[in-house]
């Protein structure tokens, strides 16, 4: 009979003891449980806070966390489930929006590219209000802010005008579809519509020492309320800030997508707005049969965005 050498028997016993110890290890057991629980075809975990906040983040920035008008309409009509209050995002998280820096010479606001234009339907109205004074009382208030920080001056002037002017449609006040009123007249009457608020804020910020080139009157389409609107946008500390008569918050214009700017005015300049196209795909060649040399070439031509390709809307279509 073949006898196992003592050294081999000892080695076999040691291997068996080692295997038993490993099988009893809590680390190995936990690893095995995790492996059994892992399903390679299971869907990726959902980012609940991010997905919940996507539809309402911009409306929340405007309304201070309240439900947007469009969400309320959809929920009452059954077109969408009742909105869920989104979890707060860590501002250091890569999911948190990062505001874009303001362009130095043109108002690229609300996700658009500004395109300079020579004439617009509102040039006469703009020239009537562009450089007018806000009036003695408002000018004194603005000059007292000359040594405040830019942010504080913008915030206080925004609140000043919003608190002293009541919204009234031009048709109800003047019997006409639209009229742009000088800042002093708006503040003296305590009445005006959306562009009158913006014009008054622009005049007061100029009196506070802001450069006229950094102040923009924006005529836009409100995609939430589905009407025409006007706001003031201010370039400050490398950002575009939006001032609205609907609320007192200063909103970073790079985060806004609820407004679609149509025309923008500043000192001696005007712009319409377009959207950047995605870069064209690189040329792709597909060989049908290597021996024949037949090839199908697909080479999309790039499309350039120019102001000539964008029609300027008629004055009758805006700010009714």
Q: Say if residue 150's pLDDT is above 70.
A: yes
pLDDT number for residue 254: 83
Q: Say if residue 155's pLDDT is above 60.
A: yes
| pLDDT tens, residue by residue, 156-204 | 999 999 999 999 999 999 999 999 999 999 999 999 999 999 999 999 9
Q: Which residues of 263-298 are buried (b: 16+ CB within 10 A; e: fewer)?
A: bbbbeebbbbbeeeeeeeeeeeeeeeeeeeeeeeee
Closest CA to 68 of 81, 55, 79, 80: 55
Q: 101-276 has which CATH code? A: 3.10.620.30
Whole-model pTM: value is 0.59
More confident of the two residues 241 and 70? 241
pLDDT band at 214 (very low <50, low <70, confident <90, very high): very high
What's the rounded mean pLDDT across residues 289-316?
50
pLDDT band at 36 (very low <50, low <70, confident <90, very high): very low
| pLDDT tens, residue by residue, 244-276 | 999 999 999 888 888 999 999 999 899 999 988
Closest CA to 219 of 107, 92, 67: 107
């Amino acid at each position: 009979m073949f006898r196992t050498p003592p050294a081999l028997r000892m080695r076999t016993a040691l291997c068996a003891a080692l295997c038993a110890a490993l099988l009893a290890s809590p680390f190995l057991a936990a690893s095995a449980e995790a492996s059994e629980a892992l399903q390679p075809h299971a869907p990726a975990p959902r980012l609940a806070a991010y997905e919940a906040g996507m539809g309402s983040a911009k409306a929340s920035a405007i309304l201070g966390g309240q439900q947007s008008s469009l969400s309320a309409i959809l929920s009452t009509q059954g077109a969408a489930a009742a909105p869920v209050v989104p979890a707060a995002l860590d501002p250091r998280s890569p999911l948190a929006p990062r505001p874009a820096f303001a362009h130095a010479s043109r108002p690229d606001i609300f996700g658009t590219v500004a395109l300079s234009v020579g004439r617009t339907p509102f040039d006469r109205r703009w020239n009537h209000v562009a450089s007018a004074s806000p009036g003695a009382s408002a000018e004194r208030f603005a000059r007292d802010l000359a040594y405040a920080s830019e942010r504080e001056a913008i915030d206080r002037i925004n609140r000043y005008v919003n608190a002293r002017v009541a919204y009234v449609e031009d048709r109800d006040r003047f019997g006409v579809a639209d009229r742009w009123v000088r800042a002093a007249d708006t503040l003296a009457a305590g009445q005006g519509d959306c562009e009158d608020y913006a014009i008054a804020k622009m005049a007061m910020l100029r009196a506070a020492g802001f450069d006229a080139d950094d102040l923009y009157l924006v005529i836009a389409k409100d995609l939430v309320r589905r009407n025409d609107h006007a706001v003031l946008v201010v370039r400050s500390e490398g950002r575009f800030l939006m001032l609205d008569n609907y609320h007192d918050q200063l909103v970073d214009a790079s985060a806004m997508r609820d407004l679609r700017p149509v025309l923008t005015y500043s000192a001696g300049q005007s712009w319409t707005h377009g959207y950047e196209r995605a870069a064209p795909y690189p040329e792709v060649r597909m060989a049908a049969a290597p021996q024949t040399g037949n090839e199908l070439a697909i080479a999309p031509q790039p499309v350039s965005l120019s102001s000539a390709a964008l029609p300027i809307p008629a004055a009758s279509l805006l700010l009714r």
